[in-house]
Amino acid sequence: MPIVLRNNEIDAVLEMPDGNWGAFEIRLGANQVDKAADNLIRLRNVFEKGEGTPPSVLCVICGLSSAAYKRPDGVYVVHMTALKD
């Protein structure tokens, strides 16, 4: 179930033992990456404005992309099959 914070939502959260956490959007196609990245950045900005600790990782998991990479805005894009093993 997505986490909702002031009309912002993310698909998954991964919390580390040290309290750091990552925010993840899951999309089927590569044509949806820009919108998903914008959602993640908007959510991070809410936290940076005093709503709590911002995520240490922003990542779009994509079902139909051909490579894993880090965008200029700092958002990682990872193909779903890269998560196995």
How many domains are contained in the chain?
Answer: 1
pLDDT tens digits, one per residue of 47-78: 888 767 899 999 999 987 777 899 999 999 99
Map residue 82 onto helix, strand or coil: helix
Domain range for 63: 3-83
Q: How many CA atoms lie within 13 A of 85 on its CB side?
A: 2
pLDDT tens digits, one per residue of 3-31: 555 666 789 999 999 999 999 999 988 88
| Residue 76, strand partner residues | 59, 70
Q: DSSP states of 20-78 as a string?
A: -EEEEEEEEEGGGHHHHHHHHHHHHHHIIIIISPPPSEEEEEEEE-S--EE-TTS-EEE
